[in-house]
Chain A
Amino acid sequence: MSPRKIRLSTTPTQEALDDLQLGDIVYLDGLMYTAREGVYKRALEEKANIPMELPRDSAANFHCSPAARINPDGSFEMGAVTATASFRFAKWLPEWMEKSGAKLIIGKGGMTSKDYKSFFVPNGAIYLSTVGYGTGALLGRGVEKVEAVHWNEELGLAQAMWVIRCNNMGPFIVASDKHGDCLFERENAKIAENLHRVYEGTRPATLKRYGETDDRSDEVI
């Protein structure tokens, strides 16, 4: 069975978000902005003014820094676009969602169902995962235009806030739903059932590591 494919606005209606199911494939239209460590630190810890009108202009927060350059004439060259692992940003996201009204959090690897239930569901937000990883060239094709790069001088190219106009940009996979269920945890649970069989005939290391666990159903993020 091939997955369902959906086109979605980066300023989506709540109805469209509620309709998304784990494993759906999504293509995006509209403005999205990138935000990783530097952006959260600057906006939330240093209380700098966010240089966009959010969520009016965009409700799509992309955990990404592109392979891109700023030309001497100020224009932009964007090649490939791939997400970075999102779990590192979980500590900033509740405050960010409150401030920015973000509805689509896009990244790599997702977050925990605990995160989804505690601050995604109350804010009506959904997590979209990039595919691969990473389909950098395909996503790069979905970039119609780079509208702006904010905080480049303060944060550098890789940490700056890139504002991207997307046209049928994808694929992305729906990795959380309106109930806060987590696609990756669902898959991990299925895989864990089989692990004892694969581990047959192996033996634990003679020298243990401090704090080591053998619980293979552990979530590692």
Chain B
Amino acid sequence: MIPIDIIQKTAETLMDKAAIEIPQDYLDGLQAAADVEDGDLSSFVLQAMLENYEAAKEDRRAMCGDTGTPRWYVKMGNETQIEGGPIALEAALRRATANATNGVPLRPNRVHPLWRTDHDNNVGIGAPEIEYGYEPGGEWIDLITVHKGGLFGTDYRMLFPSDGIEGIKRFYLDSLVAFGKRGLACQPAIIGIGLGGCKDTCMVLGKRAACLRTVGSENSDPKIAALEREFKEIGNSIGMGAMGFVGKSMVVDCNIEVGYCHTGGMQMSVHAFCLSSRRAVARVFADGRVEYRTDPDWFTDYQRRETVDWDAPAMEAAE
């Protein structure tokens, strides 16, 4: 049984870490981009961002004034039990979100879409989002918070099998250029692409590809991994860099996730996780141990399974 007070305390710490500490994989990716960038203005911008991450950590203040729309991804092992059950878990995550909004402080971004009511705590109807995943075996819970910006850089299009890879490339470029102009997407970004699923799951896959995979990770399908590398290269050859200035750094990494879709369609979504790619992760065990990390490790073989049943033994060997 996982103690609920440890879940809430850990969740508060995660909110703080996500807002303040840029994950090392993104930092390494941006440093690599800064090393090759030769546009005057783009270079200046990347250097300023690198200084900004240091300032945030030194001062323990949020790295960006727009602290996004905090959300939670929760994953647990099959044997996990939580003190108070799922209702207590959701209450703990909502409390942690509200407390950290005041504590860090974060910007209270969340308002009612029509009445613009602001509770000043990033909590409201459907906010924060809490999404779930499960893994065979184990008694632990992974708490993952992502603070993604919420206005620009995302698009969806219904493509068809006849559009092919050429059509996918076209929509990819359209999305990068449209949102890259004037730097609205806050690039260079981790670009997540969702392919397939239904419209809603296509958006979910793409968003997770951007937010739940690290810079340098690859899809387990080697042909998709090759596409990811090619798309990163294409994005960085547009001639556009940070803030939409002339440059060569648009894409810190490109991650693609797929889901089975309608036989007549090829849904595609594009998402940009910005210069403040904020994510923080912790695993809480039944004995109260907490291990912090920045890799959500969401897309396991189990999450990408395509068979009716799942054979557990391979998973247990990895534990």
Contact = CB atoms under 8 A, between A and B. Distances in A.
B186 A134 contact: yes
A136 B171 contact: no
Given A65-B65, A129-B243, A205-B163, A157 B118 contact: yes
B245 interface: yes
Nearest to B46: A132
Contacts of A190: 239, 246
A173 interface: yes
B173 A202 contact: yes
B239 to A, nearest CB: 4
Contact of A191 (B56, B169, B173, B246): B246
Contacts, number: 209
Interface in A167-221: 171, 173, 184, 187-188, 190-191, 194-195, 198-199, 201-207, 209, 216, 219-221
Contact of B104 (A67, A131, A138, A191): A67
A156 interface: yes
B52 interface: yes
A82 B182 contact: no
B167 A135 contact: no
B164 interface: yes
A131 B108 CA distance: 22
Contacts of B53: 137
Contacts of A132: 45, 48-49, 52, 64, 183, 186, 242-243, 275
Contacts of B239: 190-191, 194-195, 198
A93 interface: no
B151 interface: yes
Contacts of B109: 158
Nearest to A66: B65
A138 B50 CA distance: 10
A67 B106 contact: yes
A156 B118 contact: yes
B63 interface: yes
Interface stretch (B154-162, B194-202, B311-319): B154-162
A9 interface: no
A124 interface: no
Contacts of B243: 129, 131-133, 173
The 7 closest A-B pairs by CB, nearest first: A82-B65, A156-B118, A137-B56, A202-B170, A80-B62, A136-B64, A137-B55
Given A135-B52, A191-B238, 14 more contacts: A3-B41, A67-B19, A67-B62, A67-B106, A77-B105, A80-B62, A80-B63, A108-B183, A134-B52, A134-B186, A156-B118, A158-B107, A159-B118, A206-B162
Given A80-B62, A82-B66, A173-B41, A138 B170 contact: no
A106 interface: no
A141 interface: yes
Interface residues of A, number: 61
29 contacts: A23-B41, A64-B65, A67-B62, A79-B106, A80-B67, A108-B184, A131-B49, A132-B45, A132-B275, A133-B243, A134-B64, A134-B186, A136-B52, A137-B52, A137-B62, A141-B59, A157-B118, A171-B48, A191-B240, A191-B246, A198-B234, A198-B238, A203-B163, A203-B170, A205-B170, A206-B163, A206-B167, A220-B181, A220-B182
**How many residues of B sit at the interface, in one of the four size bands?**
35 or more
Interface in B233-290: 234, 237-240, 242-246, 274-276
Chain B CB within 10 Å — which of A3, A82, A195, A204 has the most?
A82
A3 B42 CA distance: 11
A65 B63 contact: no
A134 B170 CA distance: 28
B44 interface: yes
B66 A84 contact: yes
A81 interface: yes
A110 interface: yes
B111 A158 contact: yes
B73 interface: no
A82 B56 CA distance: 13
Given A82-B66, A136-B62, A199-B170, A67 B182 contact: no
Contacts of B76: none
A155 to B, nearest CB: 8
B41 A134 contact: no
Contacts of B179: 220
Given A137-B52, A216-B177, A80 B167 contact: no
